[in-house]
Homo-oligomer: A and B are copies of this chain.
Amino acid sequence: MIETGAEPESRAERKLRTRRAILDATLELCSDSSLTALSLRQVAKQVGIVPTAFYRHFDSIESLGLALVEESFDSLRDLFRDVRRNAEADKDIVDGSIDALVDHVHRRRNHFGFIARERVAGPRSVREAIQREIELCERELATDLARMAGTATWTAKDLHVLSSLFVTVLVATAEQILSTSHPEQERQIVATVRTQLRMLLIGVYQWQSEG
């Protein structure tokens, strides 16, 4: 090698870099199929390490999956933060939220795809971890909704019911965006969910919680 731009790495840094490479390779490899169909050797080959070296970082594909769940939900929390920011600015709540969703799905395509897939098709422990995280998101969103106009008289239960519906629509929309590569089709999807949320909001403004 004539010149490597790389500065000298400490051992810890190097290990972290390999770990990152494993995580990235896994997201890449299971971007169509599933963790359960992924072999340790495929990952190792993609990373450029020998199969046994995998064990220096994770003790199974399953625990690798759990690490990816955490990482992916960091992406999702970023999305929530942006939705909240858009809402606090003067932006329309529907358009602002959808813009943030589309933007994040594109930027973290692999993370959102990972959640969508492993949520239903992953190893049991991974599915459960994702379910827990989604419930956290629903609770978080519910407290945001409590501050929204028109929900002053709502029960906590109704707030959570609404929050869960929003999350469902959000997840479904993300899945649809992920499954197309045509910008025209994507605009269609966005227009659809825009109308859906507006229909829903009309109901929300009229809703009266009953004991």
- Hey, which bits of chain A sit against chain B, CB under 8 A? 32-34, 36-37, 116-117, 120-121, 123-124, 127, 131, 158, 161-162, 164-165, 168-169, 171-172, 175, 179, 192, 195-196, 198-204, 206-207
A131 and B162 contact, Cβ closer than 8 Å, known pairs A33-B36, A172-B172: no
Instruction: State which of B32, B121, B199 has its C-beta within 8 Å of the C-beta of A200.
Output: B199
Interface of A is mostly: helix
Q: Is the CB of B117 within 8 A of A121?
A: yes
A37 to B37 CA separation, bound complex (whole angstroms): 4
Chain B residues lying within 8 Å of A120, measured Cβ to Cβ, are: 116-117, 120-121, 175
CB-defined contacts of A172 to chain B, threshold 8 Å: 168, 171-172
A-B residue pairs in contact (CB < 8 Å), sample of 20: A33-B34, A33-B37, A34-B34, A34-B37, A34-B121, A36-B37, A121-B121, A131-B179, A161-B199, A162-B199, A165-B169, A165-B196, A165-B199, A172-B172, A199-B204, A200-B200, A201-B203, A203-B204, A203-B206, A206-B206
Given contacts A34-B34, A199-B200, A202-B203, 19 further A-B contacts (CB under 8 A): A36-B36, A36-B37, A37-B37, A120-B120, A131-B179, A161-B195, A161-B196, A162-B196, A164-B192, A165-B196, A165-B199, A168-B168, A168-B172, A172-B172, A199-B204, A202-B202, A202-B206, A203-B204, A206-B206
